[in-house]
Structure 1
């Protein structure tokens, strides 16, 4: 059903820079679990899940509270270059010496896969469970990494966060099963003297609010940007208009088709 919906969107609504050849490959590509199995070497379960990979000589830790089956999607998105959720498409490749700001790091597979060639990676993740695993994953890279256990938006203060949700559910209201955590603007976390060359963001529909609080950081650094836009709350045009208002000279393109709406999966920006 998912592939039929995407075919319908491609034919009748919006192609989002997906060529006919790319569409055909998508319609007949293996399932996510099959793709992930090509890259996952071994999984052991102690305090948390410990994962090794066929294409990466580093370990990744995944919270035991969350189903390990969800890792399949993450692996496919991180290592399958044809996946529409793959961040390093043309013009937004991660090159040697990059200083990355990874917003919504979650398990950290993207940063651990490129840590050797990066100068520094800043990771922002509101979940304590994921941050505990990030500290394990990046134990040998403390000098090259900074982990912020906060949410980000267009204000500084506190917000309610559901630690039990793999999607990292955030609410402005009082909800059961949530706890209060810090929320900061990116411009608060990073002063004008800190350099960022690459910004990646996937924060479950809060991308626009995050960008509003990152205006000076983006203006000062003009980083390459790879940002998700398919979540329910997102309006891709609003995100494009906002980033272009910060830095008019940005080039950009959308990529991919979401199965629930014809929204693009990602937007890539570069100078």
Structure 2
């Protein structure tokens, strides 16, 4: 409840005028994320070190590492499946995944978004650096011909990255005792190596969003994909990404949604070209 009060404080101070009072009232009174998540789950089984999560209306289960906090899974499910959530990547009509899209899921985590959209896509490239999640994703999407799991951290340069191996909130770090080193790539390099177009990019890379976008400049210029970008991790990231997209001068329109507890930053940036 504290984070909701923080969001309300910044909204009352006028930080996010695009959020109306009805939307704020809904946010303040909606169920807690665990209750929202449980409404999407049919049953959960334990098998070989994984929670095998059977979701309502999905034939294929989601594999989630059993040793990781189940609260993180509940949070991801509530963000994906609860209507009207500020974290909803497809909240706006202009930035929804369309039939036949080629989708780049940047920061796939446990794979909820990829699982939700794969059925209407030509192809989904599911990009996730955390090794334990990569293993889980390969189980979730085993035999799914139009989903490819790519084990990379995304940034503005290729090389190696040091990752805090926590859960879905794992982020790039400069130093620390329990860091995991993973391969890092740019979106532009990946697209060139795959030889594909990109129609849609979902971006939630735990604070590295601005750097990742810089590494996607050629893709943004040439493909002009629709974008749904999480912007609440770092203060100032929303404005930085907006300025970057508009500076490309390829026709991107930008809209923010939500009020985050961190300094009243927008939850999400949605962008599209008309």
TM-score by length of 2: 0.93
Match of residue 34 from structure 1: 35
Unmatched tracts of structure 1, length 5 or more: none
The superposition leaves residues 71-114 of structure 1 with CA deviations (integer Å, 9 ceiling, x where unpaired) of: 11111110112100000022111111111000000011111111
Match of residue 132 from structure 2: 129
Contact 1:205 1:234 in 2 (8 A): no
TM-score by length of 1: 0.94
Contact 1:96 1:117 in 2 (8 A): yes
State the aligned residue count: 269
Change (3 A) 1:63 1:252: same
Is 2:227 the counterpart of 1:237? no
Match of residue 161 from structure 1: 163
1 CA distance for matches of 2:17 and 2:224? 24
Match of residue 226 from structure 2: 224
Is 2:105 the counterpart of 1:110? no
Contact 2:171 2:205 in 1 (8 A): no
Aligned-pair CA distance for 1:49? 0.6
Match of residue 195 from structure 1: 197
Match of residue 24 from structure 1: 25
Aligned-pair CA distance for 1:19? 1.2
2 CA distance for matches of 1:165 and 1:79? 20
* Aligned alpha-carbon RMSD (Å): 1.5
2 CA distance for matches of 1:38 and 1:210? 33
2 CA distance for matches of 1:148 and 1:247? 30
1 CA distance for matches of 2:166 and 2:22? 40
- Equivalent residue for 2:89, pick from 67, 87, 93: 87
The superposition leaves residues 7-32 of structure 1 with CA deviations (integer Å, 9 ceiling, x where unpaired) of: 22111132252111111111111111
Contact 2:209 2:237 in 1 (8 A): no
Contact 2:42 2:55 in 1 (8 A): yes
Aligned-pair CA distance for 1:161? 1.7
1 CA distance for matches of 2:14 and 2:20? 14
Match of residue 183 from structure 1: 184
Is 2:103 the counterpart of 1:100? yes
SS in 1 for 2:22: helix
Runs of 4+ in 1 over 4 A off after TM superposition: none
2 CA distance for matches of 1:65 and 1:232? 28
The superposition leaves residues 34-93 of structure 1 with CA deviations (integer Å, 9 ceiling, x where unpaired) of: 111111111111221100112322200001120122211111110112100000022111
Aligned-pair CA distance for 1:162? 2.5
1 CA distance for matches of 2:20 and 2:57? 28
Contact 2:172 2:208 in 1 (8 A): no
Q: How do residues 36-55 of structure 1 correspond to structure 2 at under 5 angstroms?
A: 36-47=37-48, 48-55=50-57
